[in-house]
Structure formats: structure tokens, C-alpha cells
Amino acid sequence: MLLRYLLLSLCFLVSCQHKEQTQPKPTRLYLMLSVDWEGDTLRSANLKALANFNKEFPNYPVIHFLNPAYYTKKNFLSPAEINKRIRTVLKPGDDIGLHIHAWESLIRSAGVRFRDRPSFWGPVSLGRGGERGDDVPLNTYTEKELTQIIRHSLKLLSDNGFSDIHSFRAGGWTSGPKVYRALVKNDIFIDSSAVPAELIANLYPGTRLYELNHKLWPDINLMSKPFKLIVLKQNFYEYPNNIGLADYVSTENFISSAKKLIEDGKKSHAKNLYLHFGWHQESAVEYFEHTKEGGQKLVQAHFLNRVEKGLNELQVLAAEQNVEIVPISLSHYQKLFFEKNNP
């Protein structure tokens, strides 16, 4: 009996070792998804598409970067209706973050002098839906003004039940040192505005939006992971949007970049990889495009579909490459990598 037990144990050990030799431990790919809510429209087609995404990908947490300009826009929906619509696409485990485009109504309601220039696209704001400012880089404002705009934005969201906010993304990814300081003064210690500038050039080459991002984020690329900074003597974290948003990145681009990330990661024997993709609520399946005549027209989009196809293809790629996809929220990643030794 004892001999049989020893033999069995030996077999078990040998088989385990054999398994380890033939199947190395998978590389972990931490996958983060974020949605920018621009403060512009809350159209049922886009919201339905987001709700459908949740049904198809229930285990993929999403960071919702909310712009409070929905509450300050003139002739828009009631706050109760805005809240109801936003909540149709929030699921347990998702994060809420803050997103600011400098819309005129939001800036004025914060008690700050509105600036209508420069724009991402030219000398003066083109505006959208009858209001200006969404295309004015956030870091055009002074640190004092930014502190006030962020404080007011957080209050607007908190008054509407969105109070657990610990992260931020600037409209057009235009944060940087001045915005970081204004965030810290409002107890926000996480930014996710860093982006590889060449992704902007995919869609808007030669624009100020591209130039600004090129200057702000010269060292950010596909391999960039979340990193720690010190801002006003406090720990501050930047979570790069290292594969951009779907408007700028086709499914083919997404998969070829993911392949490169995995290959480069394996070459450098990385145990963990990081990929942060996303989309805009306002352009998930339809959006208003600027026309050459200066107006806007509603066009169909396939941006959320790009994400869904990309995630499905990524699962196939991961299985081939012995990579384990770990969909993760920002708050969970923060706990796992930055707070575990730092209670």
C-alpha cells in the first residue's frame, strides 16, 4: 500500500513537471476598457449599443469617464432623465471617472471666464450641437481656473449621484502638469490622458490636436504601462490609453498592435502586459459629423463594433500565444499593482 502511494506520488510529480515543461505559465495581459462621455448627446442608439456590449462582454469592466456638461447644456434633458440614461449602461464592477471638455456652459457655470480659442481644429472653437468649447484644449486654462472647473464638475456629478470618482481623462487627452496639480487639489490622483500621438495622426494628421499630444506625451507608446509620479508631494498615477480609442484605431490596427505588444513582451520576458482601449459614448454607433459647410450631419459609425470584433479576435490570438487575458477595472489594477505594498 505504501509502495503504491509512493509510486502514485512520484507519477503525479513527474506529470506536473512534464506539464510545466510543455506548457509554460501564460503571460498575463491586463486589459482595460474606457468610455469617454463627451457631455454632448445621450442618443438611444448609442446607449443601446453600450447596453448590448455589457450583455456580450459581462466580465469586462469599463471605466466611464463622465463629462458633467450634460447638466449645464441649454435645452437638454432633465437631470433625472440624464441620470436614468447614464445608469442604463453602468454595471457592477465598472469605474466612474471624470472627463472634461471645456464646453461654454460648463465653464461659465463653474464661474470661470470662457475661452473660445484655440481649437483642436483651427483658430476658433467650431463647437458642436450649438455650443462652443468642446474643442478648446483643457490646458488652455490656468491652474487656478482648472482647479475651480474640476471642483465644480465633481460637485455637479456628486449632486447627481456619481460621487465615487478617483480618476480623470482630459478632452483630447490634453492634461499634463498644470492639470495634474489641479486634480491633486481636488483629491484626484489618477489620470488617464497619456496617449501615443501617432494614433491621433491616424484620424487627424497635421492638426493642433496631434501637435499638442505629440508635445505632451513624447515617451508614450504601445508598451507604456501605468506609472507613478509625484505631484505636489503626493503620489500620482498615469494610466496611458496606450492603444487609443476605437474612432482612431481599426480592428486590424488593434489586433496587429496587440500582436506586437505580446511579441515584444515575450522577448523581454514580461510576466504582465497592459492594454488600454476604449471608445466614445457619443459615437458608439452614430454621431454628428462636422460638414465642410460648417454644419453637422448624423452619420453611422462602427466604432463600438470595432471594439467587440477586436476583443473576440484578441481571445483567439491570446489562446494561440499562451496569453491569459485579464479584464480589469482601473480601481482593481490600482489595488493590485500600486497599493499592495503601500497600505
d(CA 116, CA 108) in angstroms, rounded, equals: 12
In this chain, which stretch among 29-37, 186-194, 293-301, 306-314 interacts with Zn ion, using CB under 5 A? 29-37
In this chain, which stretch among 30-38, 44-52, 76-84, 242-250 interacts with Zn ion, using CB under 5 A? 30-38
Smallest separation, CB 259 to Zn ion (Å): 28
User: Please, which residue, 97 or 171, has the CB nearer to Zn ion?
Assistant: 171
Q: Is 278 in the site for Zn ion (CB under 5 A)?
A: no
Decide the pairing of beta strands 286-290 and 296-300. antiparallel
Nearest to 220 by CA among 190, 285, 252, 176: 176
Q: Is 36 in the site for Zn ion (CB under 5 A)?
A: yes
Q: Is 196 in the site for Zn ion (CB under 5 A)?
A: no
User: Please, which residue, 128 or 185, has the CB nearer to Zn ion?
Assistant: 128
User: Please, which residue, 27 or 213, has the CB nearer to Zn ion?
Assistant: 213
Q: Is 247 in the site for Zn ion (CB under 5 A)?
A: no
Smallest separation, CB 342 to Zn ion (Å): 31
Q: Which residue shows C-alpha cell 484644449?
A: 137
DSSP SS3 for 66: strand
Smallest separation, CB 315 to Zn ion (Å): 28
Q: x/- string (CB under 5 A) for Zn ion, residues 135-174?
A: ------------------------------------x---
d(CA 10, CA 339) in angstroms, rounded, equals: 41
Q: Which three cell numbers stand for residue 130?
A: 450649438
DSSP SS3 for 267: helix
d(CA 187, CA 22) in angstroms, rounded, equals: 49
- Going by the DSSP 8-state scheme, the letter that residue 204 receives in this structure is S
Smallest separation, CB 36 to Zn ion (Å): 4
Tell me the HSE value of 203 on the side-chain side, using a 13 A CA sphere: 17
Smallest separation, CB 333 to Zn ion (Å): 21
Smallest separation, CB 340 to Zn ion (Å): 32
Q: Which three cell numbers stand for residue 311?
A: 476583443
Pick out residues in 37-66 that bind Zn ion (CB under 5 A).
38
| Cβ-proximal residue to Zn ion, closest one | 36
- Going by the DSSP 8-state scheme, the letter that residue 247 receives in this structure is T
d(CA 224, CA 261) in angstroms, rounded, equals: 10
Residues in contact with Zn ion by the rule CB under 5 A: 36, 38, 171
